[in-house]
Structure 1
């Protein structure tokens, strides 16, 4: 671990980092700074960070940021370490010394290779954007920050719109630029059928027509049998060619009616099943491939002056 800053904080000086800070606030910060140093020396890192954070509320001094970063290194908080080391070097080497200044720059350069960077933007008025379930901002807005490598879920949602989610594995040192757009159901939901809509109706119609034809044949067969019966007296009579013709005609028509009923019934059942199978099914489209895309690029380097973990409105 690099050597912590143990020297006093130059209370009452006129350095740039002291401008506008009342002397009593500087003294309160220095007292908490020394307490944090004691806890850091004893390796009580949680207490040390608590003292340093309290000190920063009194005085935003680079040395306090530096020692806080040293404590956070032992608590597995690399993003916080980066943020405070960035603040520590903001006024150059003077408030630290050249050795600690170079150590801070080198360590941040290493963190930039170990962390991933996200740049999330959404322009849909009123949309809520979340990262791994945690709210980032209410659109329109933008969020830029380092995050740990791994799979992250970024979601934008708003009443009346379908949620937009992007899940992407991020590797160390990679940069993700994400522009989230929201769409209504009408914009992205389409409906389709397995076959043309007319096919099941045609089968069903053919079945009904066949069944109707069977009814006509049945009616004619009954007519032939009634004519046959009307020509036979109660006492009976000998079969004549004319009577035989009526009987055969009735039988043929009756057989045709049964066949038409069977064919029509099967077609009606088939058409009904096809109508059910051919009902409209919803599916989601990607509107002209305009959906959010993840752009992977090298992370910003140690010389960049970007702001870490800020939300811009």
Structure 2
């Protein structure tokens, strides 16, 4: 179980609720993360089209993240099971609650916390708002902008946890911020939504490769998998470089004349003057 969390101000909190099941508190907290990191953007409908309105919650990005961090992080601890996993979604949710409390205590929140803001994130298949209201944490009550501020505060925390009596782990909680922001953004624009079952090993997954089946593909105009997407686009070269030439594909640094060019080059004899080179150590003959 995660035992303690220490901030620069000496805050010591017991983190509870670690377990294999996703409880309502954790579910709402991760929806609040997804809603802040990949929000709905109705203002883009007129400019870019209706496919740009939906956010992460429309594709269950929160549920994917909970499943991934609980089942996919293999820490190599054989006494915790064949995969050595430690479910961490619940502790992350409590950690973000601690950051939210710190934000409010400092007076750095722009808007007052509101439980209705959290309850609005519930889906039609979830328990009723009345049943969930008592377990909603302070993080999910914050506005979207304030949630991002709370995530930034996590970088100030150090975490210790002991999954068993024989293990003690210490980590910089700033990694949590990278996970819930960077990881969610990366996954949102990946192909995962099209898989029939993303928890299966890659060899057992099937993907329709259908642009209409993946929300982020529709938004970005990505047409799907195709041979050649990883093809070489060119060679790094300059005006005087022997390593590449021909037409310019793209300019990397105009001032330094570094370009991506379409034709390969190669080293030529006598490109470098080495007549005055001397071996640093004597060369034995024979």
TM (normalized to structure 2)? 0.25
Greater C-alpha Rg: 1
Q: Name the structure with the higher strand share.
A: 1
TM-score in terms of structure 1 length: 0.24
* Structure with a larger share of its residues in helix: 1
